[in-house]
Amino acid sequence: MNSIYDYSLSKLTELLLELGYKKFNAIQIYEWLYKKRVKSFDEMTNIKKELIEYLKEHYVISSIKIINKQEDTDVCKYLFNLSDNQKVEAVYMKHDYGNSLCISTQVGCNMGCAFCESGRLKKVRNLKSSELIEQILMIEENLKLRITHLVLMGIGEPFDNYENVMNFIDIVNDPKGIELGSRHITISTSGLVPKIKEFTNEPKQVNLAISLHAPNNEIRNKIMPVNKAYPLEVLMQAVKEYIKITNRRVTFEYIMISDVNDHDKEALELAHLLKGMNCYVNLIPYNETSHIEFKKSSKERILAFYDILKKNGINVTIRREFGSKVDAACGQLRANYEEGK
Ligand code: SAH
Ligand code: SF4
């Protein structure tokens, strides 16, 4: 059965008007779902009985369950079981600027990045908008707090599930719903250029992050197969166009993998590649996983890389490391769970 959480307010309004109800009924339902957070249609006490019956017959509310939770200082990682028994994960992180949540967008991922656990498990299916929404709702309920910042950086390639992700953003953004500001939402992509172009023209104020991880095609081809379809020069052109049209700053994510992409030479190349762009670089210490041989760069290496970028006028930060005690790398909790069965 479909989930009522798949409906943006405009689509729900359309549905209700078609059924002969009023626009304000859609708003009432939205408030029950997202402000009062009810779990059954019967609790919607100001809605007509026959409409309740219709909703019960055609829709479910909740469809996903938390089946595992790992906690560490300022971090909490969740594994969800979906209605077809697929598993995805989400990670809550407490920052000084707020409560951030990283959610999954697909079961598995087809992009095949050499360093990534999620890519080891091929895509099974896209997540529905409702399954994205529920990751937020369940964790807010579990931790008894409100998420203030959202990143689409869990399992999956968000731009390979474009429609559901855009619909999800409309839902999560709605002032009558969860009301998470688009400026506090970040979508991360490995570089699907046609979708970056489409996204450039969306009337949304959502942040864009690009998983770059290499300053040249030679290295990028080795670790990210997507680069063979959309090489760096094509990707950078699309990102420059995005910045020009939206006037928004782009984040480049750069995982620091020992002896793969972390030499001085690559730092200089990266500085050259990004010179003059409205962007910043987020250096991410690689999260080692038992299934993949890559090692993380040493602290000294990361700092040296950082210094070179800084000296060359690039805005750069080093991502704080979270949760070495939890399986913190993207896709790890799910991978370990599937294997441990
Ligand atoms: N598919 C999208 C979003 C999900 S991956 C993308 O690739 O951008 C989110 C981020 O986690 C990406 O930057 C990805 O490269 C990074 N990542 C994957 N495995 C990692 C690991 N083991 N350690 C650190 N970062 C990792
Ligand atoms: Fe997919 Fe992103 Fe992992 Fe690459 S890094 S395999 S695109 S989830």
d(CA 331, CA 119): 8
pLDDT > 70: what percent of the chain? 94
Q: Which domain holds residue 198?
A: 65-340
Q: Judge if the beta carbon of residue 283 lies within 6 A of ligand 2.
A: no
Q: What band does 337 get if pLDDT is binned at 50, 70 and 90?
A: low
Q: Which of 110-114, 140-144, 266-270, 320-324 has the lowest mean pLDDT?
A: 320-324
Asked whether residue 75 falls in the same domain as residue 128, the answer is yes
Query: Active site includes 109?
Result: no
Kindly tell me if the per-residue pLDDT of 170 is higher than 70.
Answer: yes
Q: Is the dihedral of CA 297, 303, 306, 311 positive or negative?
A: negative
| Residue given tokens 């429609």 in the structure block | 163
> Ligand 2 centre and the CA of 290: distance in Å?
17
Most informative mutation of 189, 330, 332, 333 for ligand 2 (most atoms within 8 A of CB):
330
| Residue given tokens 């009062």 in the structure block | 36
Asked whether residue 226 falls in the same domain as residue 293, the answer is yes
> Ligand 2 centre and the CA of 190: distance in Å?
7
Asked whether residue 259 falls in the same domain as residue 334, the answer is yes
Assess contact for 149 and 117: CB atoms under 8 A. Answer: no
CA-to-CA dists, residue 25 to 13, 48, 56, angstroms? 8, 9, 16
Q: Judge if the beta carbon of residue 188 lies within 6 A of ligand 1.
A: yes
Asked whether residue 113 falls in the same domain as residue 240, the answer is yes
Minimum-distance ligand 2 atom for the alpha carbon of 224: 4
Assess contact for 329 and 287: CB atoms under 8 A. Answer: yes
Asked whether residue 100 falls in the same domain as residue 240, the answer is yes
Q: Judge if the beta carbon of residue 157 lies within 6 A of ligand 2.
A: yes
Asked whether residue 51 falls in the same domain as residue 72, the answer is no
> Ligand 2 centre and the CA of 224: distance in Å?
8
Asked whether residue 115 falls in the same domain as residue 194, the answer is yes
Asked whether residue 30 falls in the same domain as residue 74, the answer is no
Query: Active site includes 330?
Result: yes
The pLDDT assigned to 72 comes to 87
Q: Which of 35, 60, 85 is the last residue of a domain?
A: 60
Report the predicted TM-score, pTM, of the whole model to 2 decimal places: 0.95
Mean pLDDT across 205-234: 98
Asked whether residue 69 falls in the same domain as residue 163, the answer is yes
> Ligand 2 centre and the CA of 157: distance in Å?
6
Q: Which of 37, 60, 83 is the last residue of a domain?
A: 60
Rg (C-alpha) for the chain, rounded Å, is: 21
Q: What band does 289 get if pLDDT is binned at 50, 70 and 90?
A: confident
Asked whether residue 224 falls in the same domain as residue 185, the answer is yes
Q: Judge if the beta carbon of residue 111 lies within 6 A of ligand 2.
A: yes
Minimum-distance ligand 1 atom for the alpha carbon of 111: 1
Asked whether residue 145 falls in the same domain as residue 274, the answer is yes
Least distant ligand from the CA of 107: 2
Task: Report the number of distinct structural domains present in the chain.
Answer: 2
Residue 170 tokens, joined: 């409309």
Most informative mutation of 118, 223, 291, 333 for ligand 2 (most atoms within 8 A of CB):
118
Domain of 175, CATH number, reads: 3.20.20.70
Q: What band does 119 get if pLDDT is binned at 50, 70 and 90?
A: confident
**Active-site residue (options: 76, 117, 330, 339):** 330
Asked whether residue 17 falls in the same domain as residue 159, the answer is no
Minimum-distance ligand 1 atom for the alpha carbon of 156: 1
Q: Is the dihedral of CA 89, 93, 97, 98 positive or negative?
A: positive
* Count of beta carbons in the 10 Å neighbourhood of residue 299: 11
Assess contact for 94 and 148: CB atoms under 8 A. Answer: no
Phi, psi of 14, deg, nearest 5: -55, -45
- Opening angle at CA 239, ends 303 and 8, nearest 5: 110
What's the burial of 261, exposed, middle or buried (CB within 10 Å: 0-12/13-18/19+)? buried
> Ligand 1 centre and the CA of 134: distance in Å?
22
Domain of 28, CATH number, reads: 1.10.150.530
Q: What band does 336 get if pLDDT is binned at 50, 70 and 90?
A: low
Q: Which of 8-17, 42-51, 289-298 has the lowest mean pLDDT?
A: 289-298
Write out pLDDT tens, residues 64-91. 999 999 998 889 999 999 999 999 999 9
* Count of beta carbons in the 10 Å neighbourhood of residue 338: 10
Q: Judge if the beta carbon of residue 189 lies within 6 A of ligand 1.
A: yes
* Count of beta carbons in the 10 Å neighbourhood of residue 174: 16
Q: Which of 60, 84, 105 is the last residue of a domain?
A: 60
Mean pLDDT across 217-244: 98
